[in-house]
Amino acid sequence: MTRLSKSFIDKLPLPVSTDGKTKQAFYRDSALPGFGLRVTSGGAKSFIVEKRISGRVKRLTIGKYGPLTPEKARGKAIELLGDITVGKDPVAEKRADSSRKVTLQEAFESYQKSRKDLKPGTIKNYEKCVDGCLADWKNRPLTAISKDMVEARHYEIGQRAPARANNTMRVLRAIFNHSMEKYEDGQGEPIIRTNPVDRLRRNRAWYRVERRTGVIKQHQLKAWNDAVEQLTLEVTRDFLLFLLFTGLRKMEAAKLRWQEVDLIDRTFTIPDTKNREKHVLPLPNYLFELLTKRKDAAKKDEVWVFPSPQHDTHFKEPRHAIKQVTELSGVTFTLHDLRRTFITIAESLDIPAYALKRLLNHRNPNDVTAGYIVADVQRLRNPMDKIAARIQELMTP
């Protein structure tokens, strides 16, 4: 007969670990079936309850010996065993109680782990939304975030930044959608049954944000180019011109490595794009000469085509240079405006639609025809040359 008492527990030997792994030993109380003690080779002693629930034997930890006396543990065990007898599932209820306490920060971290396709830049943007606009909610349980709170916070942010308000609530909506699938009660039903952000759609409360349409007009390109040529740093000048002549997104160009440039074949490759498809483009004469000059001047072990002048990494957004060019030329622009300028000039030259989409690495999943067209880089050489020639003509009339 083994009754779990203080004197009995204090005399128990620790199980010996022979392979470096923690060993366990179990001692069952003879007076109360289902009540027991788990002892590990590390010295931990914990009271447990074992009982068949829904056809399966489940083990529930009551608490550690020391802070919990055998008498108090026995009382808790009797309570738990009684609940199980009348059909309750303490394991499921404990899990459900834990789910109800999940905070916004915990749910956000869980969402990021589940979304393995998120790019670092996307995660950084999501973190800005949560840390910048929902910081005081991060330690709140999700169940404590109501529709009224969402509507009020969206309005509050929108008074100063409508686009940020919409983006923040889209991130919050995604976190809630993830949580509705992940966190359940004891019966396997969702803890959260409705997404509070849906209130914005039903009330038509989303802010109308006009899509940016900034572009350098054709008659402005000479003044813009003249200002770029006055920049002190050659890497900055070349970076801005490379963006204009390729239509690339800023980070696609900034992270370009020399190993991705083939000056013999006159092509370059962007391996990691927004749509995750490798992007290979031909080099028109203008860019071939620009990159050849950069390669000749580069350090022997240089990794980046456009290295940062201040740090041992790739080029970053040259905000000061953009401001300087704007002041010198009178042309206000952003780096993404250079991409729109490239597109605008290409469209004015009647570049075939499929060639233009390929040059910009655009994909339309609903376009069945596009799937049958082989986008060979050589077929893009003539369109790319035409665009480059037109840009040069506008820059130096």
**pLDDT tens digit sequence for 229-253:** 999 999 999 999 999 999 999 999 9
Q: Is 133 helix (H, G, I), strand (E, B) or coil?
A: helix
* In the chain, where the domains are located: 6-88, 104-202, 218-395
Write down the pTM of the prediction: 0.63
Tell me if 62 sits within 8 A of 73, measured CB to CB. yes
The amino acid at residue 115 is R
pLDDT in tens, 7-39: 899 889 888 877 767 788 999 888 898 899 999
The one-letter amino acid code at 316 reads K
- For residue 20, the model assigns a pLDDT of 67
Higher confidence at residue 209 or residue 12?
A: 12
Residue whose C-alpha is closest to residue 238's, from 173, 188, 307, 303? 307
The token pair that represents 232 in the structure block: 């002190």
Q: Which long-range contacts link 253-256 to residues 24+ away (Cβ below 8 Å)?
A: 253/306, 254/306, 254/314, 254/315, 254/316, 254/317, 255/304, 255/314, 256/304, 256/305, 256/306, 256/314
pLDDT for residue 190: 83
Fold of 218-395: hpI Integrase; Chain A (1.10.443)
More confident: 95 or 266: 266
Mean pLDDT of 203-214: 83
**Mean pLDDT value of segment 268-296:** 90
pLDDT band, very low/low/confident/very high, at 49 (cuts 50, 70, 90): confident
* Range 64-74 average pLDDT: 92
Q: Provide the pLDDT for residue 69.
A: 92
6-88: which CATH architecture? 2-Layer Sandwich (3.30)
Say if 6-88 and 104-202 have the same CATH topology. no
Res 92: pLDDT:
66
Cβ neighbors of 273 (< 8 A, separation 6 or more) are: 249, 252, 279, 361
pLDDT level of residue 311 (50, 70, 90 thresholds): confident
- Does residue 191 carry a pLDDT above 90? no
CA 299 to chain centre: 34
pLDDT score recorded for residue 368: 45
Q: Which residues pair with 298 in a beta bridge?
A: none
Please give the average per-residue pLDDT across 45-49, as a whole number: 92
Q: Kindly state the tokens that stand for 38.
A: 């788990």
Q: Which residue, 250, 264, 236, 385, is CA-closest to 325?
A: 236
104-202: CATH topology is DNA polymerase; domain 1 (1.10.150)
Share of the chain above pLDDT 90, in %: 60
Mean pLDDT over all residues of the chain? Answer: 88
Q: What is the pLDDT of residues 143-168, one digit of tens each?
A: 999 999 999 999 999 999 999 999 99
CB atoms within 10 A of CB 123: 12
